[in-house]
Amino acid sequence: MTARALPPGIVPDWPAAPGVRAFVTTRAGGVSTGAFGLHGGEAGGLNLGDHVGDDAAAVRENRARLAASLPGPVRWLQQVHGIAVHDADGPDAHVPPIADAAVTTRTDTVLAIMTADCLPILLADAQGRAVGAAHAGWRGLAAGVAEATVDALRDRVGADARLQAWLGPAIGPAAFEVGDEVRQAFCDLDAAAAAAFVPGLAAGKWWADLYSLARLRLAARGVTDVRGGTFCTVTDAARFYSHRRDRPSGRLASLVWLAR
């Protein structure tokens, strides 16, 4: 039993095993103000990023409020748009590790991915033995962060493990304009990725479907039970922070853990 109810947020709609828990925060439920507050700048924002210019005391209070509603410590990461996967089964480090994904087989160890347009990918073994989380901006996704996280999970529960995935709030396909180099990076990996890009208004510009690209990268590792992917952080300003829409911007957290 937790000491406090979870703040306003999203509970993933995936058929995970009974012991798997997941939750995504929104911008409501905290004490941040201004750009980090509620939509319109009112006080009450639950910004969880301690590196985006928000008042440090407000971020500490926001994280404390979230922690009070969870069964164990939150394993924060220093995300760098890479593919390193942190093994969260070790001791809780005082300094968050430099990594863009994490996995655990331990109960009450809460994995966290912070985003404000990038894609959070939550993963779970269908038998409820392990969970993982990945931060997938387009660079990390093209570099293989999804595959690296899947591999790390299977290293722990078996190469034949059936995994499930849920795609959290990210920039939607009608808001994510990219250049030729982004399209080419994904098409070099899989020709089918071309279908995830729609020509933009200017030459050399494309509207990219980050959700479709993530599904392709997960399918490359045999993960086809994928849910979510219906959000847009840019257009839903009432619920989500967005770095592309607002600079500076707060950060959301996508959480996954195994319950006792």
Q: Hey, what CATH topology would domain 19-173+223-258 get?
A: CNF1/YfiH-like putative cysteine hydrolases (3.60.140)
- Percentage, residues of the chain above pLDDT 90: 95
**Model confidence over 73-93: pLDDT tens digits?**
999 999 999 999 999 998 887
The stretch 108-127 carries a mean pLDDT of 98
Distance CA 62, CA 56 (A): 10
**Arithmetic mean of pLDDT, 36-60:** 97
DSSP 8-class letter at 127:
T
How far is residue 141's CA from residue 257's CA, in Å, rounded to a whole number? Answer: 22
Q: pLDDT tens for residues 220-260? A: 999 999 999 999 999 999 999 999 999 999 999 999 999 98
Dihedral of alpha carbons 37, 137, 145, 119, sign: positive
Spell out the residues 6+ positions from residue 186 whose beta carbon is closer than 8 angstroms to its own.
138, 142, 193, 196, 197, 213, 216
**Are 230 and 89 within 8 A, CB to CB?**
no
- Residue 1 pLDDT > 70, yes or no? no
Tokens in use for 81? 């748009």
Maximum alpha-carbon separation in the chain: 56
Residue 10 has pLDDT above 90, yes or no: yes
pTM for the whole structure: 0.97
Between the alpha carbon of residue 41 and those of residues 30, 151, 249, the distances in Å are 13, 41, 11
Instruction: Dump pLDDT digits (tens) for 141-185.
Output: 999 999 999 999 999 999 999 999 999 999 999 999 999 999 999
Per-residue model confidence (pLDDT) at position 134: 99
β-pair partners for 32: 45
